[in-house]
């Protein structure tokens, strides 16, 4: 598998004091979707700025498709479509006008510029809204327009910093549908930073958990959730002792609690394991009256490994959310 991004022992210190990145290593496979998950101040944006050639690392290196971000910065910039955490549009221009400016900046030849802009607006589901001022757009439309500006040049790597920050669930979904269609349509590799656990879980092939400038652990969503210790399943059963005897023969199940008529156990990937467990119980004459499942979440893993949640919306994140709200009010 070719590497789209290689990050090796990267250190970034701001102003000689703030160690925002403290020895970061990660590899992104070509064609994959990779999530960088971490709370406020973890260093996600700093890593993205190094990756996109905006900041030089103090130590270590980053390569994008084999090109060094310091020594071959202009080559790296040709390969990347970047959607920053901050608002990157003019609210008093239309969506069409915004993209026309970006098309000029990216050096798209004049004779094809209009066609490229129209195509990308259509692709991002913004055709109808193309001639409206951006300040009348919803948060999801604004984000899709920003993504449109980044995909106009058909990048090999799309880098998105908090792509759905502050959006409601349906807008988040519409943004993700477009990102996924970029991947399907032209095979782009996607690297995104987020503090939304569910998004990393749902859309990423691989996730790195980041805290205080370090990668705590990396893996597939399933591998990481297994670190939480598995899913908890509670069964209300007709016969507790027969249930216990059946479960004791299943090596992938660990009984954690027994109450009056109830048995609680821990199992990895309950969605796959539970049908097998129920079949065993039924064949031993046990009737199951009620099932409660508590699936392990990435947030539990994060809390377990770092002692804190990645979900807080404080500091910078809060500022970005309010800036995004302001643009919609025309402020």
Ligand X SMILES: Nc1ncnc2c1ncn2[C@@H]1O[C@H](COP(=O)(O)OP(=O)(O)OP(=O)(O)O)[C@@H](O)[C@H]1O
153: enclosing H helix or E strand: none
Query: Pattern of binders to ligand X over 84-103, x per CB under 6 A?
Result: -x------------------
Contact segment (CB under 6 A) with ligand X among 35-43, 116-124, 175-183, 301-309 equals: 35-43
| Among 34, 45, 82, 146, contact with ligand X (rule: CB under 6 A) | 45
Q: Which residue is nearest to Mg ion (CB)?
A: 45
Residue 167 contacts which entry, Mg ion, ligand X, none (Cβ below 5-8 A, type-dependent): none
CB of 186 to Mg ion, least distance (A): 27
Residue 40 contacts which entry, Mg ion, ligand X, none (Cβ below 5-8 A, type-dependent): ligand X
Q: Which two tokens stand for residue 124?
A: 């991002």
Do 234 and 266 touch, CB atoms closer than 8 A? no
Q: What is the DSSP letter of 287?
A: P
Do 107 and 74 touch, CB atoms closer than 8 A? no
Query: Pattern of binders to Mg ion over 39-68, x per CB under 5 A?
Result: -----xx-----------------------
227: enclosing H helix or E strand: none
Inter-axis angle of helices 169-186 and 139-151, nearest 10: 20
Phi, psi for 329 (deg, rounded to 5): -85, 0
| Among 4, 7, 10, 20, contact with ligand X (rule: CB under 6 A) | 20
Which of 195, 229, 235 lies closest to 44, judged by CA?
195
Q: How many CB atoms lie within 10 A of CB 69?
A: 25
187 binds ligand X (CB under 6 A): no
| Among 8, 25, 27, 40, contact with ligand X (rule: CB under 6 A) | 40
CB burial string 138-164: b at 16+ within 10 A, e below? ebbbbbbbbbbbbbbbebbbbbbbbbb
Residue 186 contacts which entry, Mg ion, ligand X, none (Cβ below 5-8 A, type-dependent): none
What's the CA dihedral at 141, 147, 151, 156 to 10 degrees? Answer: -150
316 binds ligand X (CB under 6 A): yes
| Among 28, 35, 41, 83, contact with ligand X (rule: CB under 6 A) | 41
Binding site for ligand X (CB under 6 A): 14-15, 18, 20, 38, 40-46, 85, 195, 315-317
């Amino acid at each position: 598998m070719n590497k789209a991004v290689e990050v090796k022992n990267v250190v970034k210190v701001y102003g000689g004091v703030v160690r925002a990145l403290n020895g970061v290593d990660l590899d992104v496979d070509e064609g994959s979707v990779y999530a960088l998950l971490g709370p406020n101040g973890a260093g996600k944006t700093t890593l993205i700025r190094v990756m996109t050639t905006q900041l030089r690392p103090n130590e270590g290196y980053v390569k994008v498709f084999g090109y060094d971000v310091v020594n071959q910065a202009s080559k790296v910039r040709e390969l990347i479509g970047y959607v920053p955490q901050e608002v990157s549009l003019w609210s008093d221009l239309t969506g069409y006008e915004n993209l026309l400016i970006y098309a000029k900046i990216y050096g798209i030849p004049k004779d094809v510029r209009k066609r490229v802009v129209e195509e990308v607006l259509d692709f991002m589901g913004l055709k109808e809204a193309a001639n409206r001022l951006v300040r009348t757009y919803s948060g999801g439309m604004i984000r899709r327009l920003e993504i449109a500006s980044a995909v106009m040049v058909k990048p090999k790597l799309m880098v998105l910093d908090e792509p759905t920050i502050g959006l409601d669930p349906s807008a988040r979904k519409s943004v993700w549908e477009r990102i996924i269609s970029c991947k399907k349509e032209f095979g782009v590799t996607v690297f995104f930073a987020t503090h939304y656990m569910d998004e990393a879980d749902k859309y990423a092939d691989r996730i790195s958990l980041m805290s205080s400038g370090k990668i705590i652990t990396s893996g597939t969503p399933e591998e990481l959730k297994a670190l939480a210790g598995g899913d908890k399943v509670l069964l209300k059963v007709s016969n507790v002792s027969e249930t216990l005897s059946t479960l004791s023969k299943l090596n992938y199940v660990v009984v954690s609690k027994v109450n009056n008529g109830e048995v609680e156990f821990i199992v990895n990937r309950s969605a796959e394991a539970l049908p097998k467990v129920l079949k065993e119980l039924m064949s031993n004459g046990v009737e199951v009256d009620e099932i409660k499942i508590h699936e392990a979440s990435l947030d539990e893993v994060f809390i377990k490994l770092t002692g804190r949640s990645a979900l807080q919306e404080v500091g910078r994140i809060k500022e970005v959310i309010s800036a995004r709200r302001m643009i919609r009010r025309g402020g």
